[in-house]
Amino acid sequence: MKHIVRSPYQLLLLATGVLLLFISLMSLIFPLIPGLLFLMLALMVIGRVFPAMKAWVDRNKILSRIQDRIERLDGRSVLTFAKVAALIVVQAAVTAMAFAWRLMRRVTRRSPPTRALFHDPR
């Protein structure tokens, strides 16, 4: 049987990636946690163990841009990393709001007009 994890280092990376993935999922419950940042870090860490995951992130346009920004921070201070992380979270929020806006406009164009919010059937 072929083992997926071949060394203790890869096991540590996989455990760290799963922990980061769990933290990003917790952002659904606790909105103060920057979920996208932790998700991206989890994908990068898991991508070191699974080359297919790294290839998928590299093919995805948005994730690859975020990954490039994080990789450019190698050797920078923690304050610089925190600033860039905050900007990535803000950009993700703006992108999500723009997507939601376009989706709502598309849905409202297709729905028939209503007379009132509380229609009296009499």
pLDDT at 92 over 50: yes
Which tens digits make up the pLDDT trace of 39-53?
A: 777 887 788 788 888
Each domain of the chain, given as residue ranges in start order, spans 8-110
pLDDT at 22 over 60: yes
Q: How would you write the chain as a 3-class SS string?
A: CCCCCCCHHHHHHHHHHHHHHHHHHHCCCCCCCCHHHHHHHHHHHHHHHCHHHHHHHHHCHHHHHHHHHHHCCCCCCHHHHHHHHHHHHHHHHHHHHHHHHHHHHHHHHHCCCCCCCCCCCC
Pick the residue with more confidence: 60 or 36? 60
